[in-house]
Structure 1
Amino acid sequence: MTARLARLLTEIAAPWTVNIASCLILGWSIGHPGWGAFVALFTGVLPMLLIVGGIVQQRFGNHHVTEHSERHGLILAILALVLVALVVQLLASAPSQMIALTCAGLATLGAIAVWTSIVHVKASVHMAVWCGVVAILAVALGPWWWLALALAPAIAWSRIYLGHHTIGQIVVGASTGLVIAPLVYLLVA
């Protein structure tokens, strides 16, 4: 039962699902659901398709890409996808809130890339995305979104319980998301 709960929390808080949900929530909330869906495609759907393709080609061991050495190229590929989304948004004069969300995601993922490939720390992307998205939604839509941080300890527990991260890796991911995502969102929006 405990392992099942840990796996459920890990799946619910997977970066691709959280990215899709946050893009759709923000897009709908600002009256631009189409832009929300567009950003969700590039930050959630397409990254997961890259991962599934990598699993099929046996480059990744699982859909959470838990092996540190498998993350380097994947992060660069996802950064490229998000950059394409940002360029399209800029060229098409997308709403500033959606551009800010994309920039915040790009900056957070860039920081995770530094942790992963330069510092050699396997920062928790689950925690970076969850905490960053909660902070952005709180800044963009209202402070009641901060309440979603109450789920962060449970998500952290699931990642540690499943053996995917250490406490230090959880802290690095969570703090990266909490600091970088809302700061960049506020600077751009």
Structure 2
Amino acid sequence: MTVSPSRFTALWFARSVTEVSAPGIIGVALFLAVGWHSSWPDIGGLLHGAVAAVLSVAVPYAVLIWGVRTGRWSDRHVSRREDRVLPFLITLASVVSGMVFLLWADAYRELTSVAASMLGGLAVTLVVSLAWKVSLHAASAAGAATATVFVFGFSPLVAGVLVALVGWSRVRLGDHTAGQVAVGAVLGVVVASATFHALG
């Protein structure tokens, strides 16, 4: 079957967006950006963000890669819903360790808010995933976009467009339905908004 150039380009672009917007990549970028912003020109916040990123994101991602290579899980995005519980629990424990570090280090409130919203988002999507395949990419992207609105004053419209692009890529690749993407995005926005409002 021949794939038209336009279809090939769309699939390539969708795959690129999906890879760039992987929850792990977004998590690391958010911790570093918020850490840098919270204490600039001092680098203390950036260092706190870097340690939190390693504990909360890099460690569970390394475990995920090991699981994929050993055949425990199908792929890095954990596409099969039934495979998600253990990676979620490992990630939750890792995020808790990152949050404990931030609290111990008396890190800036913006950083602890990021960790708390990540923890809440993971917990909610885990519960939903027990019965239904919600989009983790959409939830992560929406949560991070909401955080950038609170921390950097980023335009909600631009943030929404970027989240929509991530959602489109997941649907275009056939990994999720529009409903799964929409629910993930709503969960990400609601949890992050509630967390940042609560922590001020």
- TM-score interval, normalised by the smaller of the two chains: over 0.9
The equivalent of 2:168 in structure 1 is 157
The correspondence for 1:14, drawn from 22, 31, 53, is 22
Determine which of 79, 83, 87 is the counterpart of 2:100.
87
Which has the higher mean CA deviation after the structures are superposed, 92-101 or 5-14? 92-101
Moved over 3 A (4+): none
The amino acid across from 1:173 in the alignment is G
Q: How many angstroms apart in 1 are the aligned matches of 2:157 and 2:151?
A: 11
Aligned-pair distance for 1:44? 2.5
Moved more, 82-91 or 40-49: 40-49
TM-score scaled by length of structure 1? 0.94
> 1:10 offset after TM fit, Å?
0.3
Q: Which has the larger radius of gyration?
A: 2
Gaps of 5+ in 2: 1-8, 40-44
Quote the residue 1:188 is aligned against: 199
- Higher relative contact order at CA 8 Å, sep ≥6: structure 1 or structure 2? 1
The question of whether the paired residues in 2 share the 8 Å contact of 1:20 and 1:40 is answered with yes
Secondary structure class of the residue paired with 2:155: helix
SS in 2 for 1:64: coil
Aligned length: 187
What CA distance in whole angstroms lies between the structure 1 residues aligned with 2:189 and 2:198? 15
Separation (CA, whole Å) in 1 of partners of 2:180 and 2:56: 22
AA paired with 2:197?
Answer: L
Q: Could you tell me whether the CA contact under 8 Å between 2:57 and 2:91 is conserved in 1?
A: no
- Per the alignment, in what secondary structure is the counterpart of residue 175 of structure 1? helix
What do you get for the CA RMSD once the two structures are aligned? 1.3
The aligned counterpart of 1:30 is: 38
Relative to structure 1, is the Cα distance of residues 34 and 145 closer, same or farther in structure 2, using a 3 angstrom cutoff? farther
Paired residues for 1:51-66 under 5 Å: 51-66=64-79
**Distance change (3 Å), C-alpha of 1:169 and 1:109:** same
Q: Which runs of 5+ in 1 are unaligned?
A: none
